[in-house]
Amino acid sequence: MAERVNPCDGKHGAHERLTRVFALLGKRWTGMVLFSLMEGPVHFSELRRSIPGISERMLSDRLTELGEAGLVVREVVEGPPLGVRYRLTAEGSALEPSMAELGRWAERCLKVDQEAAAE
């Protein structure tokens, strides 16, 4: 019988990689920011409107972190009026299949709180 390999054991480096992934993507609002950017480039105000409950400061912080990680790019749009929009890089766009699979997993496996669902 073949030995089963744990994908998260340190020998294969997956544990360290997953730790880095969740340190970035596990922060509050980060998934929703990425999900909103999957549709294409958007201005800051449009992005904020697409994520109910996020503050300007939190959105700005998340965009900065995602930019530093190489997942999001801030682009200046020549005016008038001068504007700024955000878009996913190729590395950020590469998360789309994983995000879609996480959504499917959540639908199958996570129970929805009935009170939250009624709101």
CA dist 119 and 114 (Å) reads: 9
Query: 2 lies in a domain?
Result: no
What residue numbers bound the domain in which 49 lies?
28-118
- Which pLDDT does position 116 carry in this prediction? 55
- 3-7, 19-23, 95-99 — most confident range: 95-99
Query: 17 lies in a domain?
Result: no
Instruction: With a cut of 60, say whether residue 51 has pLDDT above it.
Output: yes
pLDDT digit string (tens) for 78-87? Answer: 888 888 999 9
The residue-averaged pLDDT of 14-31 equals: 91
| DSSP conformation class of 30 | H
- Which pLDDT does position 13 carry in this prediction? 77
Q: Is the peptide bond before 80 cis (omega within 30 degrees of 0)?
A: yes
**67: domain CATH number?**
1.10.10.10
Query: 16 lies in a domain?
Result: no
The count of structural domains within the chain is: 1
pLDDT digit string (tens) for 65-80? Answer: 999 999 999 999 888 8
Query: 19 lies in a domain?
Result: no
pLDDT digit string (tens) for 26-37? Answer: 999 999 999 999
- Going from the C-alpha of 82 to that of each of 1, 15, 48, 56, 87, the distances in angstroms are 64, 44, 19, 19, 17
The 3-class SS string of 32-94 reads HHHHHHCCCCEEHHHHHHCCCCCCHHHHHHHHHHHHHCCCEEEEEECCCCCEEEEEECHHHHC
